[in-house]
A = this chain, B = another copy of it.
Amino acid sequence: MKIRIGIVGYGNLGRGVEYAIRQNEDMELAAVFTRRDPDEVRVKTSGSVQVYSMDRLMDMKEDIDVLVLCGGSATDLPRQTAEYAEHFNVVDSFDTHARIPEHFDRVNAVAERGGRTAIISVGWDPGMFSLNRLYASAILRQGSDYTFWGKGVSQGHSDAVRRIPGVRDAKQYTIPVEAALEAVRNCENPVLSTREKHLRDCYVVAEEGADLQKIENEIKSMPNYFADYDTTVHFITQEELEREHSGIPHGGFVLRTGKTGMNEEHNHVIEYSLKLDSNPEFTACVLAAYARAACRMNRRGITGCKTVFDVAPVDLSPLSAEELRRTML
């Protein structure tokens, strides 16, 4: 029997989960839940997939094996995951790093009470990047960690530029500094300032007659967002923005360099990187794999809140342990 997935929230991430389910032969999309009017949401999967209003969720407990929660980390997930984990196995992509311990504790209490399995903070950072930080530091005990993000679109920074008077539309790319990456790869153990790690590149559509110099200055001096970075501002037309910058690419690099040997005379570099055309679709694929694990772990009686650190890799794959040993080990 296939794993029956329910998607909660049908934005970019929810649609990504829908596409991911189509690529996983052991899963099926059971239902989509939305805050919008369900009649106005049309899912991409042909056939009998129903779209329901959020308040129908509790009626569907018997029809869903895992709920994939596709809301935002600011307000949706802190509430939703902690509520639904009592009644469903759930997976979320909660990504406010500093608040993960608190989110974990709340979800854990609820999931334990309901005998459910919740896997939180699934995606690529937190998620695959976190896993690589853990594996690398467990192996190379004496070493240094580096995470670089990009090249990719930062939604928060794009929004910040859009709020500037005179800006009609904008897109911001975070770009790792190549020289910093190289210094890390060469085991120079550089101590890197914010400015030395990432560049920021802004593509801005100005309102007609706006003062471009003033906009550029406002961007470059914006505290927290841009002031600590080398920032480049390109003014372009709305057409060009839509033609060249409509995607949501992202990615990044996790590196650990470390030393081994009697006198720590040998250097080692572990590097993990992602280059993603679609940030939400990749995150959705990670969520789908961990939904499989949540379902399997719950069937084995492993309940409560988990993270990617607690999940044995074997539980992520549709292949059997035997087949994995034969083909991938």
Contact = CB atoms under 8 A, between A and B. Distances in A.
A89 to B, nearest CB: 18
Interface stretch (A195-203, A227-235, A316-324): A316-324
Contact of A324 (B20, B309, B324): B309
B282 A139 contact: yes
Contact of A141 (B100, B137, B285): B285
A311 B272 CA distance: 20
A134 B97 CA distance: 26
B329 A260 contact: no
Contacts of A318: 138
A207 B134 CA distance: 49
A291 to B, nearest CB: 11
B273 A260 contact: no
A328 B131 CA distance: 8
A23 B310 contact: no
Contacts of A15: 262
Interface stretch (A65-73, A148-156, A238-246, A263-271): A263-271
Interface in A263-305: 265-278, 281-282, 284-286, 289, 292
A142 interface: yes
A130 B328 contact: yes
A138 B317 contact: yes
Given A141-B23, A325-B100, A325-B307, A277 B272 contact: no
B309 A309 contact: no
Contacts of A273: 269-272
A260 B20 contact: yes
Contacts of A137: 317, 328
Categorize the interface residue count of chain A. Answer: 35 or more
A161 interface: no
A313 interface: yes
A101 interface: yes
Contacts of A185: 275
A329 B311 CA distance: 13
A171 interface: no
A282 B310 contact: no
A87 interface: no
A326 interface: yes
A66 to B, nearest CB: 15
A215 interface: no
Contacts of A126: 329
A130 B270 contact: no
A82 to B, nearest CB: 16
Contact of A289 (B138, B260, B270, B276): B138
A52 interface: no
B329 A307 contact: yes
Contacts of A219: none
Contacts of A272: 132, 271-273
Contacts of A260: 16, 19-20, 23, 277-278, 281-282, 284-285
Nearest to A281: B260
Given A121-B329, A325-B100, A139 B309 contact: no
